Amino acid sequence: MSKAWKVLCLGAITALAALGLVACGDSDSSGGSSSGGGDVNVTMTSFPDYIDPQLSYTLEGWEVLWNTYVPLLTYKHEAGEDGTQVVPGLAEDMPEISADGKTYKLTLRSGMKYSDGTPIKASDFTYAIERLFDVQSGGSVFYEGIVGASDYVAGKADTISGITTDDKTGEITIQLEDANGTFTDLLGLMFAAPVPPSTPKDKNATNDPPPSSGPFEITSVDAPHTLVMERNPQFKTVQDAGANEVADAQVDKITVTQNKSNSAQVTGVEQNNIDFMVDPPDADRLPEVQARFSDRFRLEESINTYYFWMNTQEPPFDDLKVRQAVNYAIDPEALNRVFGGRLAPTQQILPPGMPGYEQYTLYPGPDLDKAKQLLAEADPSDKDITVWTDDEPDRKRIGAYYQDVLNQMGFNASLKIIAGDVYFTTIGNASTPDLDTGFSDWIQDFPHPDDFFRPLLNGENNLPTNSNNFSHVDIPELDKKQDELVQKQITDEGVTDDYAALDKAYMEQAVWAPYGNEQFTTFMSDRLDFGQAYSHLLFSQDYSAFALSN
C-alpha cells in the first residue's frame, strides 16, 4: 500500500468514526416551528434560569411561570398600573391583617387540583416556603421575616412555626416578626406558589417541574434549549373554585425556544416563522421593525430605573455640588439613542407605574455650563475617577458616553469594563479599589416602592460584600422614614405621597444620576391577535392573552 493510500484510508476511518458520534446522539431542533391550530412558538435569547417556581428569579422565568403556578395572591391580568394590584389567586380573598400588621390570615379555595389531579392543600403553602429555604433560593430573603424561618434554616426546627395551616378548612395563618407592608406583594410572587409534596424539597425541579395550578402546565423541558406549555386539564377546578382573577389560556400549546441570535429572531417574527420574541429587537434592527411592522410592534412600559451611581463616601462624589453637577450634565436623549429609542427620560428614583411615583425635575438640562459652574464651586481635589460598566454592548456604550460627559465637565475619567456576570458583585464589594461611579439599573422584584429604597439606598444595606447600595448612601433620617413607611400598607392614606416625598428627598441629595426607564417591546407574527396581547408591568408578556388572529 502506498503512503498516500494509507493516509487517505486513515483519514476516512477518522471521518467515519466522527460521523458515528453524530449519529449516536440526538439534539432538539431550535427551529421552534408550530404545527398550526392553537400552537404558538416563542423565542428568547436566554432560557429561563429555572423552571421551578421557588427558584426562578429572572424576567424570562417569571414570564413563563406566571401562568403556570398560581400563588395564594396574584397580580391582576391587566396592562398598565392596574396590573400592579394584588388580587386573590388560590386564596378566597385578600388577607385579613391584624392591627399590629404581624398576622396574615387567608383561606384556600376548596376543591382545586394540580394538573396531575393531586388536590391543592393549605399545607402546600408551608411546603413551598420551606422548600424556598431548602433549595437556597435567591427569593428566600423576602420571607425571612416569618416567625420561625430562621430556626428552620438553622435546622433547629422541622417546620416554620410562624405558618399554621388546616387542610380541612383551608385556613392559613402567617405570623411575621415585624409588620411588613410589602408582605401582601410578596405573597403574590411565584416564590410563594404552593406546590405538592411530591416536588423534591431540596432540589431544583427544572427537569421535572411540579404539576401546575395555573392555566398552563409545563409538559416538557429540555433546558436550556426548549420547553413546552400546554393547557392544564385541571384548571377548570381552579376556575370553578372562584379564582376569577386567574386568566384562562386561549391557545393550546406554547413552545418556548432559546435562540441566541437576536437578529435571527427579528427575521423570524418578520417572516412569521416565530410568533413572539421575548427580547426587544436590537437597536440596529429596531428602526426597521418600527417602520415596517407598526401593525404588530409597540413599545411597552416596564418598572425599572437606569442610573449612574456615585460613591457618596469618597471624593469627589462626597460633595453634593459634584453630584448635582453630574445630574445637570447627563443628556437622557443621548442615552436614549443607545437604546434605539426605548428609554423614557427620567431624573428620579421611582419609575412610572410604581406606587409613589410623582413626576418632578430637579436638575433641568442637559446643562453642561451649569454643571461646570457647580464643579468649579466644589473644586474637588481628586479629579481622576474610574467609571465602571459591564461588557454588554449597550452598557459599554453607556459607560463610554458617561466617561465622555465627565471629561467634558473637567474630570479625568477612565473607563473600567468588566464581565456582566460578575459586574454587580464586583461593584457591590466595598474592598474593590477605585469604586467612584458607574452604570447600574434596577428592575422591580414587586411593585412596592420599598423594593427600590431599601436595597439600593438604605444605610443598613451599605454592606461590605454583595451590596446593592452602590452609592454607599447612608442618610439616617431617610432610613428612619423608610422604616416607618414599610410598617404601613401601601393602600393606607398618605403612604404613596410619603414615598413620593422620599424619592425627592434622596434626589435633593443627588445620590444617583438617574437617566431613564427602559421600555420593553411586543413584536408578534401576523398569526397572533396583536390587539389582545399586552405586556404586564411585573411579569412582561401575559401568555394567557395570546390568541390566534381570526
Partner 1 sequence: MGRFIAKRLVGMVGVLFAISVIVFLIFNVIPNSDPAARIAGKNADAELIARVNDDLGLNDPLPVQYVTLMKEIFTGQLTSYSSDLNVDEQIREGIPATMSLCIGAAIIWMAFAIVFGYLSAVRAGGKLDTMLTVLALIGISLPVFWLAAILLYYLSFRVQLFPTGGYVPLTEDPAQWAYHLLLPWITLAVLFIGFYSRLLRSSMLDVMNEDYVRTARAKGLSERQVRTRHVLRNSLIPIVTLFGLDFGAVVGGGAILTETVFNINGVGLYAGEAIGSLDLPPLMAVTMFGAFFIVLFNTIVDILYAYLDPRIRLGSSAV
Binding stretches for partner 1 (CB under 8 A) = 2-8, 10-11, 14-15, 18-19, 21-32, 47, 49-50, 57, 136-142, 144, 153, 204, 206-207, 223-225, 258-261, 263-264, 267-268, 270-271, 273, 419-422, 424-426, 429, 432, 445, 455, 463, 465-466, 468
C-alpha pair distances (Å), 516 with each of 40, 125, 270, 343: 33, 38, 29, 6
Q: According to the 3-state scheme, what is the secondary structure of 276-302? A: EECCCCCCCCHHHHHHHCCCCEEEECC
Pick the closer one to partner 1 by CB: 28 or 379.
28
Q: Residue 90 and residue 30: Cα distance in Å, rounded?
A: 35
Pick the closer one to partner 1 by CB: 88 or 438.
438
Pair type for strands 253-258 and 226-231: antiparallel
Write down the least CB distance from residue 465 to partner 1, Å: 7
Order of strands across the sheet that contains 512-518 = 343-345, 512-518, 304-310, 437-443, 384-390, 412-418
Pick the closer one to partner 1 by CB: 156 or 168.
156
Q: Which amino acid is at 122?
A: A
Pair type for strands 39-44 and 253-258: parallel
Burial 404-428 (b: 16+ CB within 10 A, else e): ebbeebebebebbbeeeeebbeebb
In what helix (H) or strand (E) does residue 230 lie, and over which residues does it extend? strand 226-231
Q: How many residues are given for the chain?
A: 550
For CA atoms 257, 260, 262, 268, give the dihedral sign. Answer: negative
Torsion of CA 293, 536, 195, 491, to 10 degrees: 180
Q: Closest by alpha carbon to 128, among 116, 115, 146, 102?
A: 146
Write down the least CB distance from residue 470 to partner 1, Å: 12
Write down the least CB distance from residue 441 to partner 1, Å: 11
Q: Closest by alpha carbon to 543, among 165, 82, 125, 217?
A: 217
Write down the least CB distance from residue 130 to partner 1, Å: 14
Count CB-CB contacts under 10 A for residue 266.
Answer: 24
Write down the least CB distance from residue 133 to partner 1, Å: 9
Pick the closer one to partner 1 by CB: 373 or 432.
432
Pick the closer one to partner 1 by CB: 48 or 95.
48
Nine-digit cell string for 448: 412596592
Pick the closer one to partner 1 by CB: 132 or 246.
132
Q: Residue 286 and residue 288: Cα distance in Å, rounded?
A: 5
Write down the least CB distance from residue 211 to partner 1, Å: 20
Pick the closer one to partner 1 by CB: 138 or 410.
138
Write down the least CB distance from residue 533 to partner 1, Å: 23
Write down the least CB distance from residue 257 to partner 1, Å: 8
Write down the least CB distance from residue 120 to partner 1, Å: 26
Pick the closer one to partner 1 by CB: 133 or 515.
133
Q: Residue 430 and residue 375: Cα distance in Å, rounded?
A: 26
Pick the closer one to partner 1 by CB: 183 or 363.
183
Write down the least CB distance from residue 156 to partner 1, Å: 14
Write down the least CB distance from residue 267 to partner 1, Å: 5
Q: Residue 212 and residue 234: Cα distance in Å, rounded?
A: 9
Q: Residue 455 and residue 192: Cα distance in Å, rounded?
A: 21
Pick the closer one to partner 1 by CB: 70 or 435.
435
Pick the closer one to partner 1 by CB: 202 or 369.
202
* CA atoms within a 13 Å half-sphere pointing along the CA-CB vector of 395: 21
- Which residues on neighbouring strands pair with residue 309, listed in sequence order? 438, 512
